[in-house]
Amino acid sequence: MSDDANQMRAAHFAHFCELMPELVARLSWSREGIEAHRTRALRELLGHAKRHAPWHAARLAHLDPERATIEDLASIPPMTKSDLMHNWDAIVTVPGASLKVAEEAVRNMRDQFYIWGNHTLFASGGTGGRPGLFVNDWTSLAMNWGGMSRTIRPYLASLPLPGGGIPHNYRTVAVGAEMSGHGSFVVGRVFSNPANPTRMLSGWRSVAELIPKLNAAQPQLLSCYPNLIPALAAAARSGELKIDPLAIVCGGEHFPDHSQRLARETWPEAAIMTCWGTSEGGGTHPCVSGDGFHVSEDQVIIEPVDETGAPTMPGQRSAGIYFTNLYNRAQPIIRYHIDDVFEMDDEPCACGSLHRKIRQVHGRAFEKFHYGTIIVHPVTLQLAVLEQPSILEYQIRQTKRGAHLAYRGEGDIDGARLAAKMRQALKSYGVVEPEVTVECVAQLGRTSVGKLKRFIPLPPTS
């Protein structure tokens, strides 16, 4: 089985490499070219969803897919993660696919895997406080990662490789999720060059554990969570960390300006890049100038909206976005609500790309849990929740000696397994005899703007 999966991953990487020239060419499209493509892609998506996804058929009944325009999107009611998870089998268009089988597969996974032929799954904490399961078909997974990385690889390919290496054959280190259905793990496993495999390191562990591994791996391309940068920069300044990357790509959460400056000061030779991405379909790519990122308008439609769902203007902060994935046929995502705060730019970008520029995305900055000198990334605790999709919403609160999980759910939920897995996660960081409590609640407290804070650390004691 593992040989088969390895062969499929190698073939998938080859497919990704084949798609790349086209994805790169799209970055220099004219505005008319982008618009024409979007209209065509939207029509195909609506037609496909109407024919193959009964849940969508009902909400798209008023539209003629052959004549629909981008403006018609506004007439489609938004969908939430709750809609997606409640109506999963009537949204996913893969013959024979079911949420039950998908849940089971994620619960029992031992490595990245393929399902229903050549489909893949992402499990995500994502937006809205409820875990989600996302299906990608073969091409759409390659489009997802290709769309996000299409400015990074050509940039590296344009550099003379020290020591005369082979173009596209960089030493790549991805600091991301541990073995899980998390997108960064799946994408890291699949799109790893078999001739020079991506070294995957856990971003959920201590920096002290990472440093010797990074020194040994000597990445030319390093990807990691933005929140690692201050600690890595400090280790570089003290001489413990000795790496000389050509590019550092930070994604997964907001990359604050001061951390970006710190990265540029610490590794002046490296391109520092960032973008925003989502399990629902990627969505952006780093600007080649190294300043901010662009919406991948050939792949997705992002509508920034206020609390009432009305569009917000460039320069304004949105309350969220409606996200439409134009390319994934396996699980059509149309006007899907994501609660990240977007600030769009309306100035043309100096890089020359006519894909819309994003000034900033706020949100998704995960605060870590501190137990004395032990630092725990709460995403590790979340893995226990992600394997039980009957949980509708949840919140993990740090306690003095462990954590408290409050959740709202329906159907079968294995509370003992939840607590055991969370305890195991805390122990793996070195927390001694962690205390974990699990509570089913009728309602979870939200912030004044209706957001559910997923992780709540204890206030610092000093």
Which residues form the interface with Zn ion (CB under 5 A)? 287, 349, 351, 353
Helix (H, G, I), strand (E, B) or coil at 186: helix
Dihedral (Cα; 232, 236, 241, 244), 10-degree rounding: 100
Identify which of residues 217 and 351 has a Cβ nearer to Zn ion in the complex: 351
- To the nearest whole angstrom, how small is the minimum distance from the Cβ of residue 49 to Zn ion? 32
Give least dist CB 93 to Zn ion, A.
34
Which of residues 299 and 353 has its CB atom nearest to Zn ion in the complex? 353
Q: How far is it, in rounded angstroms, from Cα 418 to Cα 391?
A: 11
Residues contacting 372, CB < 8 A, separation 6+: none
Q: Is 197 exposed, middle or buried (0-12, 13-18, 19+ CB in 10 A)?
A: middle
Q: Which of 352, 357, 355, 249 is nearest to 293 (CA)?
A: 357
At 133, which helix (H) or strand (E)? Answer: strand 132-136
Q: Are 366 and 376 in contact (CB under 8 A)?
A: no
**Min separation Cβ 355 and Zn ion, Å:** 8
Which of 203, 183, 201 is closest to 124 using CA atoms? 183
Helices in 324-450 by DSSP H: which ranges? 378-386, 415-429
Nearer to Zn ion, 234 or 351 (CB): 351
Do residues 263 and 126 make contact, with C-beta atoms less than 8 angstroms apart? Answer: no
Question: Closest separation between CB of residue 297 and Zn ion, Å?
Answer: 12
Could you tell me the smallest distance in angstroms from the CB atom of residue 347 to Zn ion? 10
Pick the closer one to Zn ion by CB: 123 or 287: 287
Residue 350 token pair: 């100096």
Nearer to Zn ion, 142 or 354 (CB): 354
Q: How far is the CB of 288 from Zn ion (least distance, A)?
A: 6
Min. distance of Cβ 72 from Zn ion in angstroms?
Answer: 29
**What is the signed CA dihedral for 57, 63, 65, 66, rounded to 10 degrees?**
150
Cβ-based nearer residue to Zn ion, 297 or 339: 297
Nearer of residues 17 and 351 to Zn ion, judged by Cβ: 351
- Separation of alpha carbons 441 and 80, rounded Å: 21
